[in-house]
Amino acid sequence: MAGKMMIDNRVGQGQVPPDLFPPDVFAAACPTRRVLDRIGDKWAVLILILLARGTKRFNALRRLIDGVSQKMLSQTLKSLERDGLVSRRVIPTVPVTVEYSITPLGITLHDAVDPLRVWAETHIGAVEAAQQRYDAGARDGSGLA
């Protein structure tokens, strides 16, 4: 195992071409972890879901995603654009108009994460009930959920 980790670390440091070894998400240096970070980012997922429904301007996204700050929205859109998941189009108007669209690669990720949204919306009641049972058990000291 130590030899495998050494190889993986050298791949992550750019010393060995990454195509020589298959991705291993459990290895610390595996670049696929960056993709998982993107999937685990609630703002990125919400943006992808909205853009899959159609092109949106920055302020429209900001209005539609309750709780996201302008800074966080801007940072997340830049990250998604860098990853090839979102495209940005600047329209030379006064003031400048910027539109965001999901890319074909972004659609493939959307298709993978949107079922998680559906699951969350479908099962939120059961999750909250489980949390209440757990919290009640923690309060009374029984530890029973």
Structure confidence at residue 19 as a pLDDT band (50, 70, 90) = low
* Greater model confidence, 8 or 27: 27
**Class of residue 113 by CB neighbours under 10 A (exposed 0-12, middle 13-18, buried 19+):** middle
* Greater model confidence, 14 or 128: 128
For the cut 80, the answer to whether the pLDDT of residue 126 exceeds it is yes
pLDDT of amino acid 39: 84
pLDDT of amino acid 89: 97
Cβ(57)–Cβ(100) under 8 Å? yes
Structure confidence at residue 142 as a pLDDT band (50, 70, 90) = low
- For 24-48, how does the pLDDT look when each residue is reduced to its tens digit (9 = 90+)? 889 888 888 888 888 889 999 999 9
pLDDT of amino acid 55: 98
Structure confidence at residue 60 as a pLDDT band (50, 70, 90) = very high
pLDDT of amino acid 16: 55
For the cut 60, the answer to whether the pLDDT of residue 18 exceeds it is no
With a CB cutoff of 8 Å and minimum separation 6, the contacts of 56 are: 50, 64, 99, 100
Q: Which domains, from first to last, does the chain contain?
A: 1-30 (no CATH), 31-140 (1.10.10.10)
Q: What is the pTM of this model?
A: 0.76
For the cut 60, the answer to whether the pLDDT of residue 7 exceeds it is no
Is the peptide bond prior to 17 cis by the omega test (within 30 degrees of 0)?
no
For residue 11, what are its two tokens? 């791949």
